Every structure is written in C-alpha cells, then in structure tokens.
Amino acid sequence: MKINKQNYTGLTSNQVKQRINEGKLNIIDNKITKSYKQIFLNNTITFFNILNAALLALVIFVGSYKNTLFILVIIINTIEGIYQEIKAKRTLDRLSIITTSKVEVIRDDVLMEISIDEIVLDDYLVLYTGCQIPADSTLVEGYIEVNESLLTGESDPVIKQNGDNLLSGSFITSGKGICKVLHVGNDNYMNKITSEAKRLKKHNSQLNQSLNKILKYVSIIILPIGGLLFLKQFIYGGQNFNDAIVSTVAAVLGMIPEGLVLLTSVALTLSVLRLAKQKTLVQELFCIETLARVDVLCLDKTGTITEGTMEVEFDVKISNVDLNEIIGNLMHTLTDVNVTAQALKEHYPCQTTFKPYYVIPFSSNRKYSGTSFYDQGTYYIGAYQFLFPHGNQNLEELCSKYANDGYRILVLAHTDKIMDNESLPNDLKPCGIIVLSDVIRADAKETINYFNLQGVDLKIISGDDPITVSAIAKRAGLKEGHKYIDATKLTSSKKLQEAINKYSVFGRVTPQQKKEMVLALKEMGHTVAMTGDGVNDVLAFKEADCSIAMASGSDAAKNAANLVLLDNNFNAMPHIVDEGRRVINNITMSASMFLIKTIFSALISITTIFFGQAYPFEPIQLSLISACGVGIPTFFLTYEANFSQVKGNFLKNVLERSFPSGFIIALGATLITNIGLSLGYEPNMLSTVCILFTGWNYTIALLKVYKPLTIYRKIIIYTTQLIYYISMIIGQSILELTDVTFNWLMVLLALIAFSSLLVDLTAFLFKQLEDKYIK
C-alpha cells in the first residue's frame, strides 16, 4: 500500500526543543578520527618516550649534558606526529560531514531532512529501500522488508508490517514506511552492539602486525640487555659509574627504533591527506596498505562500472495489452525507489485508472514486485528467471536476444487472480518485456585496464542477469568478460568455490552469495577488495580485506566501507592503490634503515656482555648516526612517488635489507673496540674508527636499500653522507673524536674495502635462514 504522511503531523518545534533539553536526542558516536586529547596522549605517553625520559634523567644525573641532544630528536618527532595527526583529523572531519547520514522526518506537518544525530524521541521517520534504520522504532504505516544481518547474522529479509518493531543498525531492502522512534542515543539496540552492528571488524594489516612484532621484541629485550650491559661495564669492565651510565644509555638509545612508528604514522597520514584531495574518505587507516596488496578486486556492476542510472530503450508486446497503462498504474502503486523503478517512472508516467488492492514491493531476494488490482487481477514486473522459474522457451529466447546485447530485461506478467501475498501463482502469463540499458561510467574502461595491467584479477558480481552483466563487462574492457555464470546454479559451497576460480562474471548473485564468494577467495590465499554502493553489498564488505563504497550509495554501504569515494569517482581507485604502494614501499625501505641501528646496537651490547669490554659509542655520536644515516634521508625519500608493485612479506623484506648491514657494523665495531682496547689503544680513537666505519656502511646500506638509484635518491644520499662527515670535522671535540693512527687508518681502509662484499655474503646466508624460519 502507498503510505500517506498526511495521516501524521509529527512533533512540533516546541516538542522537539523540549526533548533536546531533556537529553532525548539521538547522539551517536560515529567519529572515525581520534579526539585531540587522544592524539596528544597517543603521541606522548608511549613506552619508548617514557624510556627516553628515563635515559635523559640518567645522563643529566651524571652531568653529561652534551649527550642530552637525543631528546631534541624525540621532542621534534613527537611534535611532528601530533601535527600530522591533527591535520589529518581536521581534513577527515570535514570530509565525513559530506557522508553524514541523513533521514527524512515529519515535523510541524512538514517533511524535512535532518542528520541522524538530530532525531529526538517520538519523531516520525520516513524510511525506504537502502536506508539504515537510525533508531529503534515502530512501523506505524507502510510495508517494508528489513535485513537484520548486521545484528543477528541472519541474511534472510524479515517482513515488517504495522506495529512491528524495527531495530537500529538493520537496513531496509525493500518497501517504504513511516516509523515512530522508540529509543534514542545509548538506549538504541545499535549503540549497545556498535562494534558488531555498524562498524566493520578491524582487518589484519601486515604492515601493522609487522611493526607491532618489531616493537614487541625490542621492548622485551631492551631493558634486560641495558641492565646487564651496565653491570658488565661497571663491575667487570673497570669503567667508572658515570662512563658506564653514558655508554649504557647510548646502547639503549641505539636499540630504540625511535622514528619507526612516527615514520609509519606520518606516511599513512600523508596518504590520507593526498587521498582527501582525490575526494576519497579514508575510514580505516591501514586499509590504504591493504588495497595495495589486493590481487582480486570484486566489482559490483551498478555504481562502479555503470553510473547507477538506467533508461528504458523500448518495450515489446507479447499479448494484446496497453503496456503504458499497466506499467503506469504499477508505478503509481509501487513505492520502490531503486534506479530501475526511477527509469520506469520516467518512461511510463504514473496513472490511476486501476484501483489497487495489494502491493508486493520489490525485494532483492525475490527479484520482482507487483500489485493486485480490483477487477484487473495481479500484474508482476521483474526478472524472467524469477517470475518463470520453471521456464518459458519463447520468452527465454526473446529475453536472451536482447540480454546478449548488454540490455537489462524486465518481464511484465499477469494472472487473473487477485493475490494478497508475495507468492507467485502457477498460471502466470507474460504480457511483454521492457528493455533497459545501463550507462557505463566514462572512467570505467580506463580503470579496468589499469587493474588488468597490474595483474589484479577482476570479478564482476551483480544481482542482474549474467548475460547482461557479461555484455556490459566486455564493453567496459574486462578481459575475461565472456566467462559468466548464473549464481542461482551455484547451489553448494563446492560449486561456488569451483566457479569463483573459473568465471569472472557472476549474475543473479544474492547478498549472502557475495559474502561467500569473498570468503572463498580469502580461503584460497587472496587479498580481496570489494566495491559497491548498495545494502546488498554490506555482507561482503564485512568480510573483504578492503571495502570501497560510493558516496551516492546507501547509508549502510557507506558506514560499512573502509573507503568512501565522495565524488563517486571510480577512477580514483588507481590513485588509492598507488598511495598504498607508496606507503608500503617507502616504509619498507625506511624501516630497513631504522632497524640497522637497532640490530647493531643489540648485537654489540650482547657481545660486550659476554665477550667485550665496553660499548664503543656515546649518545651524541649515535644521534649523529641516526640523523644522517636514517632520519634525514628517510624523511625526504618517504615523499617519493614509489608506485612499484608490492611483493613479499613486509617483515621479511625489512629484515633482509637491514640485518646484513647491522651485522657487519656490529662485527666490525666489536672487533675494532675489543682488539684495540686489548692492545692498549685510546678508547676515543677506537670510537672514531667505529664511527667512520659505521658511516661508510650506512652509505652502502642506503645505496643498496634504495635501488634503483634515481637522481633524486643520489642527491639525498650523498648530501646527507657529506653532512655526516662535515659534522664529524666541525664537531670533533663535542663528539669526542680524535685523530686516527696510521695503523688503524690502514685497518679502517681494509674493512671499508671488504664491507660491501661482507654485506652481500651475510645477505645471502641470512636469506637462506630467513626462508626457512621467518614466516
């Protein structure tokens, strides 16, 4: 039946104000960004910041003030992290306003649109297909079908009639109705299970997992090694208390990858800001990285490949009826608001010559709608396969003729029976077919070609006729567009898994099947992204590694997606992938440089505890190494447009690049220090040799990690290394460096000459062990 808002005047302005004053407002915490307080605390109160503060206190306690320089780097890093997060927060908050969910409400006898957080208790909402129910309500007029899968896990639609309760968080799959709000804010069922109902579960990020693993192990070993090193140097190494403290602080500082977390955060934040310029709203930070690893992209036809609009091309009569009159009357009675209904209403103006008795709203599960009319029987309009499940050869041939050309076909069917339920009669007869066409997006072909070239397997998954979808896919440039199947034939999990490998186009897919397809692909070891814009995509969104929604899509789809394309710009997809690749590639190289210092500091400390006499560096010397060997070059190189395809495991790639250099630096510094001290050489001179040797190995590491060497990379690397050696000359006294004797200069030159070979040999041996033990 057609709803009539005139039966309801809604709340008055005074009643709304009264409820707002009483706190009966639908305030929902839907923010995707941290608060300013959270940003400040997350960047300041960290394990490593607290540890650095303790190390600063120790250095000040022993009066070695020049070695407090490292704290300036920590402060700068913290300020930079806070600044970038606040900048990203403001950008995302502005963008999220664009996607703020709206709802129609009746107030003062006027239908108006408000944000869902402006709903008050007892409001009368007008909800229709595609809407997510924003507050617990009672249906007071109309007829709707509701999918409560986000709440119950059951995907079957639930029919709601007058007097039935509607749970917030579920979404309407068909129909239209007026609902009275029962609960608001924290009293809503949705708010009580927010993490399960509206929010996507947090998907695992390889980058995030790897960084957490690195930080976890460093956090575990750093304090025991630092304590043992101090005891070894102070009690058994003959150092005085002050010197033991300073060298221990240097060792602990060396093991802290102080810029690694900041670098990752800044790199991701900069990507968010770049994507914001492409009108892409990032709702989950690490999904940028995930999309760059995607090897299967599932595309919903409507809204991605096509514009999401349709137009009627022509119709074909099968029986002697007036199609304009019949469809015009159907369009008057049906409350469907999907694009097909809009195209039909535009082509067939509404008529009121028939008197409606019972309305069958469209359902994505039934694939048809209809109306019973007094004295006319019942007319149905929908997909051929669902209206005639037992077949009709002549009708099938006629439909296939046009479907093969990429058109969408609707069948108008009739029974003399006046139906009062949603079931199909067994005497249904076709009256005619309506031929509609999808408008392919202007950017679809270019974007699909991009993914074809990148080796990403594309799957077109649609609820429409597979022949039609296949024709559209071929027109859009899909290489395997001719490989299609009707998903209604996939009656078991085994058949679905076999089909997902064999076919590229799937038609007549139910929402539950979309979800099962994504799960099947993930079980095969693929990283899966899903694009869509409708409520029927939400179940698949929940399971995909990365989900992308169009801003013009349903509230449910936008709320569930990791990314929202605010301009509905499908051609932004390559930019998003490129940003993910930039992030992973640059962080992989930068993290490799950061871990070199962590690795050689940990190895030198361990060898000193068991075999050595003293840690060879002071904090201020490590600050110089960190700045010129890691901080400055990685800062500038992180901005590079590095869009090469991501391969391999992040942690393995990082260790493969960092461990050989870290090991050779540790080996050389340990030999120089222990042999030199055993022969009675001055500790400061030996430290100078170690710093020169370390600097040279950092140059080698930068050149190896950042291959291939572009002009920009060469300029950054050689400039920072020049700064390193100039700083050693200018700051010789502050760094406590001395002249190197001829004998040790020869030793240094020999070590330098063989460093690259030793690094390569270590890399080869490490890779053999890595492939065997590191997963």
3-state DSSP assignment of residue 318: coil
Q: Which pLDDT belongs to residue 96?
A: 57
- What gap in Å lies between CA 663 and CA 38, rounded to an integer? 38
Residue 503's pLDDT band (cuts 50, 70, 90): very high
Q: Mind spelling out the 3-state secondary structure of 119-144?
A: CECCCEEEEECCCECCCCEEEEEEEE
Asked if residue 368 has pLDDT above 80, the reply is yes
Length of the chain: 775
Helices (H) and strands (E) in the chain, counts: 28, 21
Over residues 383-430, the pLDDT tens digits come to: 888 899 888 888 888 888 888 777 889 999 999 999 988 888 988 999
**Average pLDDT for 545-555:** 79
Could you tell me the domains of the chain?
Answer: 1-128+133-194 (2.70.150.10), 209-273+577-773 (1.20.1110.10), 295-526 (3.40.1110.10)
Q: Which pLDDT belongs to residue 199?
A: 44
3-state DSSP assignment of residue 15: helix
Question: How far is CA 233 from each of CA 203, 496, 605, 774, rounded to the nearest angstrom?
Answer: 46, 66, 11, 34
Of the listed ranges 142-151, 439-448, 557-566, the least confidently predicted one is 142-151
Q: Are strands 546-550 and 505-507 parallel, antiparallel or unpaired?
A: unpaired
Active-site residue identified among 300, 438, 545, 578: 300
- What gap in Å lies between CA 9 and CA 277, rounded to an integer? 43
**Average pLDDT for 543-551:** 85
- What gap in Å lies between CA 149 and CA 161, rounded to an integer? 19
Amino acid present at 81: G
Of the listed ranges 98-102, 141-145, 349-353, the least confidently predicted one is 98-102
Q: Which pLDDT belongs to residue 602?
A: 92
436-470 burial, b at 16+ Cβ within 10 Å, e below that, comes to bbbebbeebeebbeebeeeebbbbbbbbbbbbbbb
Residue 190's pLDDT band (cuts 50, 70, 90): low
Annotated catalytic, 300?
Answer: yes
Asked if residue 185 has pLDDT above 50, the reply is yes
What are the tokens at 427?
């005497």
Asked if residue 554 has pLDDT above 90, the reply is no
Q: What are the backbone angles phi and psi of residue 457, rounded to the nearest 5°?
A: -75, 125
Asked if residue 717 has pLDDT above 90, the reply is yes
| Residue among 199, 285, 259 at smallest CA distance from 580 | 285
**Average pLDDT for 2-28:** 80
Q: Which pLDDT belongs to residue 667?
A: 94
Query: Tell me, what DSSP letter sits at residue 335?
Result: -
Residue 100's pLDDT band (cuts 50, 70, 90): low
Query: Tell me, what DSSP letter sits at residue 35?
Result: -
Over residues 579-633, the pLDDT tens digits come to: 888 888 888 898 899 899 999 999 999 999 988 888 898 888 888 888 898 888 9
With a pLDDT cut of 90, the percent of the chain lying above it is 27
Q: Which pLDDT belongs to residue 606?
A: 92
**Average pLDDT for 53-57:** 87
Asked if residue 95 has pLDDT above 70, the reply is no
Round the average pLDDT of the chain to a whole number and report it: 84
Q: Are strands 165-166 and 124-128 parallel, antiparallel or unpaired?
A: unpaired
506-536 burial, b at 16+ Cβ within 10 Å, e below that, comes to bbbbbbbbbbbbbbbbeeeebbbbbbbbbbb
Q: Which pLDDT belongs to residue 32?
A: 59
Distance in angstroms between the alpha carbons of the first and the last residue of the chain: 60
Q: Which pLDDT belongs to residue 1?
A: 45
Please tell me which residue, 170 or 553, carries the higher pLDDT value.
170
Residue 131's pLDDT band (cuts 50, 70, 90): confident
Most confident of 288-302, 359-373, 569-583, 652-666: 652-666
Asked if residue 157 has pLDDT above 90, the reply is no
Q: Which pLDDT belongs to residue 232?
A: 87
The answer to whether residues 515 and 493 touch, using CB atoms and an 8 Å cutoff, is no
Over residues 258-291, the pLDDT tens digits come to: 777 777 777 888 888 888 888 888 877 778 888 8
Cut 0.85: pTM above it? no
Q: Which pLDDT belongs to residue 153?
A: 46
- What gap in Å lies between CA 162 and CA 765, rounded to an integer? 73
Q: Which pLDDT belongs to residue 464?
A: 78
Residue 495 CB contacts under 8 Å (≥ 6 apart), including other chains = 489
Q: Which pLDDT belongs to residue 137?
A: 93
